[in-house]
Structure 1
Amino acid sequence: MDKYFLLVFSLLCFFEAVTSLRCITCHLRTKTDRCRRGFRVCVAQKNETCMMLKIYRDSILQLSYLVCQKFCRDLTFHLNNQTYVHKCCNHNYCNFQI
C-alpha cells in the first residue's frame, strides 16, 4: 500500500511540475521592445498569474514591467500625466504578448 501511495504521489508531483504556469520576467522593457533589466522566466506559484504593466505618457508607450504576480487583476489608472495599464493572463508566456 505504501509503495502504491508513493508512486501516485510522485506522479502527481511530476504532473504539477510539468503543468506549472511560466511567465516572462523583465524589470525594465523599453519602447524599442528590448528587455534592459532582469530578463528570465518565472514559474508562477499559488495564486500567481503572468502580469504586464505598461506605462504610457501622452498615449506613447514609455516602458513595460513583466513578472509573475500574486493576486493580479486587470486595471488602468492615471497618475501624473501617465497611464498605467495592468494586464493579467494565465497561459505560458502570455505576458510577453499582451
Structure 2
Amino acid sequence: MRKFLTIFSICCIIIGAASLMCVTCHLRMLSDHCRRGFGVCVAQKHETCMTLKIYQSNTLQLSYMGCQRFCNNLSFNFNNRTYVHKCCSYDHCNFIA
C-alpha cells in the first residue's frame, strides 16, 4: 500500500507540474485592475491561455482573460471597435500588466 501511495503521489506531482496555468479576469477596464473573476485557471485538454482585448479609437477599453478550448488568434472590427483575441501556451502568458 505504501508503494502505491508513493507512486500515486509522484504521478500527481508530474501531472500538476505539466498543467498549463492561465490568468483569469472576466472584466478589466481601461482605468483600473481586474473588477471581476481575477484568479488562475488550469487549462484542460485542448485549452490554452487566451486574452480578448477590445479597442475603440486605438485605445484599450476592456479585456478578458482565461482558459479557452480550441483557441484561435484573430482580430476583427465591429461597431467601431477592434476585437483582438490572442492565444498562448506557457504559464501565465496571458497576464496583462
TM-score range, shorter chain: 0.7 to 0.9
CA RMSD after TM alignment: 2.1
Displacement of 1:30: 1.1
TM, length-normalised to structure 1: 0.86
Match of 1:34 in 2: 33
Match of 1:24 in 2: 23
CA distance in 2, matches of 1:57, 1:72: 23
SS of residue in 2 equivalent to 1:56: strand
Match of 1:54 in 2: 53
CA distance in 2, matches of 1:11, 1:95: 29
* Structure 2 counterparts to residues 1-98 of structure 1, below 5 A: 11-97=10-96
Aligned pairs, how many?
Answer: 97
Compared with structure 1, are the counterparts of its residues 88 and 33 closer, same or farther at alpha carbon in structure 2 (3 Å cutoff)? Answer: farther
Mind listing any 5+ residue stretches in structure 1 that lack a counterpart? none
Displacement of 1:64: 0.3
Q: Percent identity?
A: 58
CA distance in 2, matches of 1:96, 1:72: 16
SS of residue in 2 equivalent to 1:15: helix
Runs in 1 of length 4+ with deviation above 2 angstroms? 3-14
1:35-72: CA deviation from partner (whole Å, max 9, x where unpaired): 00010110000000000000001111000000100000
